[in-house]
Amino acid sequence: MGIVTGGDLEHMRESGRIVRKALEEMKSLIAAGMSTKELEMVGRRVIEAEGAIPSFLGYNGYPAAVCVSINSEVVHGIPSTSRMISEGDLVSIDVGAFKNGFHGDAADTVVVGLADPRAMLLVRTAYEARDRGIAAARAGSTLGDVGAAIQDAVEAQGFSVVRALVGHGIGRKLHEPPQVPNFGRAGKGMKLTEGLAIAVEPMVNIGDFRVNTMDDNWTIVTADGSLSAHAEHTIVVSGSEPLILTA
Ligand code: MF3
Ligand code: CO
């Protein structure tokens, strides 16, 4: 369980800062015609220049420093020199950084160039759902409160929330207990306590919530081929507003 206190919190802040810097650099340079590998290298350079290590590289054999997932790809897209980003693509970028013994993890989704209004609403909803989940995460509330807040925000727009993948505790390891589902019932599940570090990361589909894994054994795609958006922050629970380490 990622309970952080004192100096550990400063290390978590530092990893979170680096994750944010990498994401912003990637978002500022993303453009149609760029390969997902080129985009990965932008993020990787920032992480390494900050004296950190990409958390995902080699994690369970994952072969890249960041995940880039386009359109119906939900998460864990592997960057490739042959995968080009096109005008109108919905691109989710997921970054993790490890420094001083602690991880940070965050994801943003952007639409490249001119987007379909429904794709824009999907992206806005993913951020809104994440932020509602974060707002529900305080000492004394439960994992069910967080999941229900996320699920309500998503379903209010007629979209669906992925069930097969969840958020997670984070700290000395990228993935620690507890699992943080993006669905649930208010009042149910584990009680949150001050200092608990978690990654809150809803994956939101325009269509059905079901997903499949592609032949590369990593890329998760929507089963119905519909668009999907992903938004993630690393946070630390407190007695009042949570600390958002990747803002
Ligand atoms: N944010 C994602 C997660 O927490 C990224 C993991 S990619 C992996 O699962 F390669 F590290 F698995
Ligand atoms: Co994560």
6 has a pLDDT exceeding 90 = no
How far, in Å, is the centroid of ligand 1 from the Cα of 94?
8
CA distances from 67 to 36, 59, 98, 230 (A): 9, 12, 15, 11
DSSP for 6-54 reads HHHHHHHHHHHHHHHHHHHHHHHH--TT-BHHHHHHHHHHHHHHTT-EE
Q: Distance between CA atoms of 148 and 165, rounded to whole angstroms?
A: 15
137-183 pLDDT, tens digit per residue, is 999 999 999 999 999 999 999 999 999 999 999 999 999 999 999 99
- The CATH-assigned architecture of domain 6-244 is Alpha-Beta Complex (3.90)
Is residue 146 lining ligand 1, measured as CB closer than 6 Å?
no
Q: What is the CA radius of gyration of the chain?
A: 17
242 in helix, strand or coil?
coil
- Residues 168/176, Cβ–Cβ less than 8 Å: yes
How far, in Å, is the centroid of ligand 1 from the Cα of 173?
12
Is residue 67 lining ligand 1, measured as CB closer than 6 Å?
yes
| Nearest ligand by distance to the CA of 233 | 2
Is residue 105 lining ligand 1, measured as CB closer than 6 Å?
yes
Q: Which of 206, 196, 200, 197 is nearest to 228 (CA)?
A: 206
Token representation of residue 209: 């919530």
How far, in Å, is the centroid of ligand 1 from the Cα of 106?
9
* Atom of ligand 1 lying closest to residue 105 CA: 1
Q: Which of 90, 89, 91, 65 is nearest to 79 (CA)?
A: 65
44-75 pLDDT, tens digit per residue, is 999 999 999 999 999 999 999 999 999 999 99
95-116 pLDDT, tens digit per residue, is 999 999 999 999 999 999 988 9
- Tell how many helices (H) and how many strands (E) occur in the chain: 4, 15
How far, in Å, is the centroid of ligand 2 from the Cα of 6?
23
How far, in Å, is the centroid of ligand 2 from the Cα of 67?
11
Probe ligand 1: pick from 78, 103, 105, max atoms within 8 Å of CB? 105
Is residue 59 lining ligand 1, measured as CB closer than 6 Å?
yes
Is residue 40 lining ligand 1, measured as CB closer than 6 Å?
no
Tell me what pLDDT residue 5 has. Answer: 84
